Amino acid sequence: MKTTAQSLAMAPAAAQSWLAVFGELVKARLTFLVLLTTLVGFYIGTRELMDYTLLVHTLFGTALMACGASALNQLAEREHDARMRRTESRPLPSGRLQPETVLIFGGVCSVAGLLYLALAVNLLTSLIGAFTLVTYVFLYTPLKRVTWLNTAVGAVPAAIDGLDGGAERADGRRLVVVRDPFLLANPAFSGDRLDVSRGISEGGFCHAAVD
């Protein structure tokens, strides 16, 4: 009985621990900011009555893509993250999660987010999301280890920022275009350069001189 009681007591703690691990993997605070800006963009782009159902669909699809992008980003940078004190405790470098698990999680979240946006919002929103996903994970992320001009490449998804929130289709129907998490990558990494440029160099990332 005592062993059973101890096991039951440990279960919530274990659940909270795993929740914290995945919260770190998906960069929960950054994802929250993405959803907040998505909400603002949606509101600004609304010309008639607010469609709360569409808003919920937009936020949910965006959240899935944000989680997937963050996971795939950390998967790609796990070896470099292990070299920096500020990132060595992340789920992958610390060994709390395995690469295979993160790959499956990130891939499923990304694909699910794209499909959900295509079916529940509209196809163009999903296509723009796919473009930003590919640009962020397969272009911007690798270039961070090659040239400090990676921030210029990271600004490409941000260039479609004006489409966030809403736009008018030819038939007058409001078109929702989500703000994807990747749009925050460029300023976020710029901030990293200013705060911990030495640590980033140790991790093998290129950055502009700030001294």
Where residue 10 falls (left for φ over 0; alpha for ψ -120 to 50; beta otherwise) is: alpha
For residue 86, pLDDT over 60 is answered with: yes
Q: What is the pLDDT of residue 57?
A: 93
d(CA 191, CA 185): 10
Please give the average per-residue pLDDT across 141-166, as a whole number.
62
> Could you tell me which residues come within 8 angstroms of residue 40 by beta carbon, excluding any fewer than 6 positions away?
165
The answer to which of 22-26, 55-59, 68-72, 185-189 has the lowest mean pLDDT is 185-189
Q: What is the pLDDT of residue 102?
A: 97
Q: What is the pLDDT of residue 96?
A: 94
**Structure tokens that stand for 103 in this block:** 């790959």
d(CA 161, CA 154): 12
Would you kindly state where each structural domain of the chain is located, as residue ranges?
A: 19-202
Q: What is the pLDDT of residue 142?
A: 80
Which three-class secondary structure state does DSSP give residue 170?
coil
Question: Model confidence at 150, in pLDDT bands (50, 70, 90)?
Answer: low
Q: Under CATH, to which class is 19-202 assigned?
A: mainly alpha
**Structure tokens that stand for 61 in this block:** 């699809």
Beta-carbon neighbour count of residue 77 at 10 Å?
22
For residue 169, pLDDT over 70 is answered with: no
Please give the average per-residue pLDDT across 153-181, as a whole number.
48
pTM here is: 0.72
For residue 70, pLDDT over 70 is answered with: yes
The answer to which of 51-55, 115-119, 187-191 has the lowest mean pLDDT is 187-191
For residue 111, pLDDT over 90 is answered with: yes
For residue 36, pLDDT over 70 is answered with: yes
d(CA 83, CA 59): 34
